[in-house]
Amino acid sequence: GAGVSQTPSNKVTEKGKYVELRCDPISGHTALYWYRQSLGQGPEFLIYFQGTGAADDSGLPNDRFFAVRPEGSVSTLKIQRTERGDSAVYLCASSPVSSRGSPPITQYFGPGTRLTVL
């Protein structure tokens, strides 16, 4: 079946502009995650959705970052007043339902969106 898809694959913007990054999870996956990966580093957690609600947004670096998942499927990561330090690859992952204390469930990643802030 289809995997996680992300659009656009590349986004170049100017400092101070607003951007939206989109993630389509695997069909039927209720959990959706956003991570950010800087060059030469491992991915870093940003936010996690279970259904429509943000279950954990502790990784968002500041209030310029916001994410939504209004219908429990597609998610959009929104970044206001972009800064050069926001340049990175933004990865989305999805998994079947996963709750605290339960055995871990594999997260499947999309190809990422490469964001460049000039």
Partner 1 sequence: EDQVTQSPEALRLQEGESSSLNCSYTVSGLRGLFWYRQDPGKGPEFLFTLYSAGEEKEKERLKATLTKKESFLHITAPKPEDSATYLCAVQGAGNMLTFGGGTRLMVKP
CB of 36 to partner 1, least distance (A): 11
Angle at 10 (CA atoms; ends 32, 68), nearest 5 degrees: 30
Q: Which of 26, 51, 68, 111 binds partner 1 (CB under 8 A)?
A: 111
Footprint of partner 1 on 23-62 (CB under 8 A): 31, 33, 35, 40-45, 48, 50, 55-56, 59
The CB-of-72 to partner 1 minimum distance in angstroms stands at 16
In the bound state with partner 1, the residue whose beta carbon lies nearer, of 97 and 118, is: 97
Query: Of the two residues 14 and 100, which places its CB atom closer to partner 1 in the complex?
Result: 100
Question: Smallest gap, in angstroms, from Cβ of residue 41 to partner 1?
Answer: 6
